[in-house]
Amino acid sequence: MNSLQSRSSLSRNSSHHRGFGKVTKWTATPLGIEGQSEFSYFRISVFLDGVIRVQASLFESFESNPYSVVSSPEKVDFSLTEKDNQLHLTTSTVHLTLDLASFKLAFFDLAGNLLNEDDSLGIAWIGTEVTAYKQVQPLEKFIGLGEKTGNLDRAGRAYTNWNTDYFAYGVGDDPLYMSIPFYMGIHEKGAYGIFFDNTHKTVFNFGASNNRFVYFSAEDGDLDYYFIHQPSVAEIISSYTRLTGRIQLPPKWALGFQQCRYSYYPDSEVYTVAQTFRDKNMPADVIYLDIHHMEGYKVFTFDEEKFKDPKAMISRLKEKGFKVVVIMDPGIKTQRGYRPFEEGLEKDLFVKYPDGKTYEGQVWPGWCAFPDFTKSETRSWWAEKMAFYTEAGVEGFWTDMNEPASWGQFTPNLIEFEYEGEKASHRKARNIYGMQMARSAQEGSSIQNPDKRPFVLTRAGFAGVQRYAAAWTGDNVASEAHMMAGVRLVNSLGLSGVAFAGYDVGGFAGEASKSLFARWMCIGAFAPFYRAHSMINSNDSEPWAFGEEVEEISRNYMKLRYRLLPTLYSKFYSSSQTGLPLAESLAVQYSGDRSVYLSAYQNQYLFCDSLLIAPVESTKEITKVYLPAGEWYYLFSDEKHLGNRTIYQECPLSYLPVYVKSGQVFTMQSDVIHTGSTHDRVLRIHVYKGIFGSEFLHYEDAGDGLEYLTGAYFRRKISYDPKNGSLDFVVAEGTYPSDFTKLKVYFHGFSTDSVSVAGKTLSLQTEDYAFLGKLTEFDPLPEEDHPYFEIKDLPYMEIDHLTDSFQITGLI
C-alpha cells in the first residue's frame, strides 16, 4: 500500500478485520520508538514518568487531539534493547515489551508483574474503526470512564462515548451527557490506567457478549492512548490529571448550598426564595436563573416583563449574601435583528454545512444557529457577549444543552467545525463541543471579571473539562434508585479527574417524597457540588416545601456542610494541586479489597479523606455498612468499630451513616448563613485516635480573587503522630492573615486529661458535643429506639491561633 495514501482513500476491501501486522521497520527516537508494518505506522513515547503513549495509524502522519492533554513530554530516562524478536523499553516505573512479529504489547512493573497485555488480536482496523484488544487479568476490576451508569466495577458491560442529551435517563442507560475515555484496571498484580485520546465516538467493552478480551475502539481516527502505571490508584489519577489538567480553586461561595428551579420568575419570586432561606436560618449562597429569565429563550437577553431591572435585583440579592448564576444555551435564534445572530453571521462564527450554509437546529428559541466553539474567534466573541450578564452583576455561568442538544436528537454528521484550523466533521467534534463551550464561558468570566475566580457549571464535556467547569449529572429523576446512582456517577467522575461534581438533589424530573428529599439533602451535603433543582410543572421543592420535619433535617445537614467549610475548602485546594477527588470511591484507597466492589457497598465513599459516607435509601431504617481496614468512629456518637467487617447501622431519616477514619484530622467552624458571613473566628480541630497517623493541610485565602496565586494564602500542615502521641503544627506559609484567632482542639477516643503545649501542661476541659441538632418532636419512633446522638464529655483544649510551629504532646 502506498505510504502516502490519504485518509480518504482506504481500500474498498478494508471493511474486514485487519491486524497491525509484522513490524518491518523501526527506529529509536529521543522519546522511545517509531516504525511501521506493511500498511500501518506506530509511535511509542515515554511521555512522563510512569506514562507511556502508544500511537497507531494507517497513515504516516499521526492525528492528535488539541484539547485534552496539557502536559508536554518530559525527558525521562529509559533503556531500549532488542532480544528474541522483541523490543524491551524500560523506565524507572514500567517495562514494556513489543513483539515484532505481531505488534503485541505487554506492560510490566519493575518487579516483573504483568499489568496489562494485548490479546493476540492486538491493534486492528475494520474500515476506519480502530480497536485495541486486551487480555483480562485474573480477578481484574475496571473502574472509571467518568459519567457512566451501572456498577463501580465495569466488568461485563460495554459503554459508548457520545455526548447525549438524555432527559430522565434510566439508572442503567448509556450514553449520557459527558465522555471521559479514561479507565483503570485493578488486579492482584497491580493497577494501571488507560486514557484513549480520541474524540470520535468510542466504545469500551469490558467483557460484554464475549469471554475472550476487553477492548476499546473508535469509529475513526488513530489509536492514541496513554498507559499509566504508578504504585497506587490515587497516584494513577494524579498522573492522569497531570496530563489533562486539574480543577482551578473555585470561589468559596461555589462550595455553599445552591438553589435552582426551572424556572424562578418573575423577580419577586426570586426575592421571596432568597428571603425565605434567610428567614428560616438555612444557609445558602446561590440562586439560579434558568431559561425563563430570557426573552423568548434567547441567550444574552432578559425578559423585560419578568425582570424589569435585573441589575437592581442582583444587587439586592448580593446584599443578602446570594450570588446569581445564569444559564447559557448555545443555540442562537436565527432571527434578523437579534444582534448575536447578526454578529455570528457577519463574523462567520457558526457551525456550517460543507457548502458554506449555516447549520440550523431547533432548540428552545426555535430554529437556531450554533456557535463553533472549536474556533478561537468564536470563543473570544462569546467572552465579549458575556459582558451583558457581568455588567448586571452575574458571577456564575451554567452551560447547558451543550452536547449539543437539538430537538430530534440526530445532528447530521456532515456539518463542519473549525477544530483549531484542522477542520472536522460532527463525528469528530461533537464530544469536544461542550467542553469548548465551558472553556469559552470560563474565559469570558475571567475577561469580564478579571479580579474574580470564575465559576462555570457544565452538562457536557470531555477529558480535561475539569480545567474549565464543575459538572452535574443532568436531568435525573426523583427516585431512590436515581439518588444512589447519582452517588456512583459523582464518584466515577472523581475517578476520572472531575473532582468538582454533583447531582440535582431531590431529582429534576418527577416528584420527590418527603423522605426521599430529606435523605437526598443529607447525602448531597457530602457532595463536592451541592445544588437542589427541579423542573417546571412540578411541586415546589425547596428545603422547606416538604413540611417541618424535612425542613429541620435539611437545615441540620446544610449547617453541617457550612461548619465543615474549613475542611472542604482545604480539600478543594489540595485537589487543585493533586487532581484527587473530594468524593472518593473506596476503590481508591482500598483497591485490593473485594468487598468495596460489591453491590451492597459500592456506593460508599470517603469525603474529604476523613469521612466515610454510607448512602442509604430513605425507605430503610437500618442498613449494612462495610468498614474497610482500620478503625472507624461513628460521627454522631464516637462509637468505635473495627474495620474489615460489615456492621448493621440504624439510619433514621435524620441520621445518614457517617464514620470518621481513625487517625484522621479535620477542621470545622461555627455556623454561618452564607460563605461570606462572619464566624466566631474559632477553628475547631477534630483529632481521632488511631494506630496510623495522618496529615491535614489547612488552607485559607480571601475566598475569591487571584491574589492567592502570588502568595496571599494561609497554609499549614497539621500532623497527627500516634507513635509520639503528638499533634504537630508546622510554620504557617503565605501572606494571608488567618480568619481564625483561636484554635479549639477536640480529642476523640483519647484517654488524655492533660496535654503539653510549648512546654506548658494544660488540663483539658470537656463538653457535650453534637454534630447535628435534635429532632425528637418529629421522630416517629420512641427516643430510646432512635436516640439523640451526642458525644458526652468530649475533651478539648483552646489556645490562641499561633502561626509559628508548635506541638501538642501527651496524646494517649
Please name which of 644, 807, 654, 648 lies closest in space to residue 719, comparing C-alpha atoms.
Answer: 807
Q: Is 22 part of any domain?
A: yes
Cα separation, 678 vs 684, in Å, equals 15
pLDDT in tens, 95-138: 999 999 999 999 999 999 999 999 999 999 999 999 999 999 99
The CATH number of residue 62's host domain is: 2.60.40.1760
Q: Is the bond preceding 404 in cis, omega lying within 30 degrees of 0?
A: yes
Partnered with residue 613 across adjacent β-strands are 605, 658
Q: In the prediction, which pLDDT does 785 show?
A: 52
Could you list the residue range(s) of the whole structural domain that residue 175 is in? Answer: 12-244
Q: In the prediction, which pLDDT does 776 show?
A: 61
Q: Is 400 a catalytic residue?
A: yes
Catalytic residue among 403, 443, 542, 700: 403
Catalytic residue among 118, 400, 504, 700: 400
Task: Report the half-sphere exposure of 123 (CA within 13 A, side-chain side).
Answer: 29
C-alpha cell at 459: 452538562
Please name which of 431, 625, 398 lies closest in space to residue 529, comparing C-alpha atoms.
Answer: 398
The structure's pTM equals: 0.96
Q: Is 101 part of any domain?
A: yes
pLDDT in tens, 191-249: 999 999 999 999 999 999 999 999 999 999 999 999 999 999 999 999 999 999 999 99
Partnered with residue 323 across adjacent β-strands are 286
Q: Is 197 part of any domain?
A: yes
Cα separation, 515 vs 549, in Å, equals 9
Q: Is 705 part of any domain?
A: no
Q: What would the DSSP string read from start to end of 15-67?
A: GSEEE-----EEEE-SSEEEEE-SS-EEEEEEEETTEEEEEEESSSSPP--TT
Which residues in the chain show pLDDT less than 50? 1-9, 12
Q: Is 579 part of any domain?
A: no
Q: Is 520 part of any domain?
A: no
Catalytic residue among 109, 197, 290, 475: 475
Q: Is 475 a catalytic residue?
A: yes
Q: Is 198 part of any domain?
A: yes
Q: In the prediction, which pLDDT does 777 show?
A: 65
Count of structural domains within the chain:
1
Please name which of 721, 717, 699, 696 lies closest in space to residue 708, comparing C-alpha atoms.
Answer: 699
Task: Decide: 328 and 402 in contact? Cβ < 8 Å.
Answer: no
Q: In the prediction, which pLDDT does 3 show?
A: 41
Q: What is the CA radius of gyration of the chain?
A: 27
Q: Is 298 part of any domain?
A: no
Partnered with residue 35 across adjacent β-strands are 26, 42
Q: In the prediction, which pLDDT does 617 show?
A: 98
Q: In the prediction, which pLDDT does 1 show?
A: 34
Q: In this structure, is the dihedral angle defined by the CA atoms of residues 668, 670, 673 and 674, taken in order, positive or negative?
A: negative
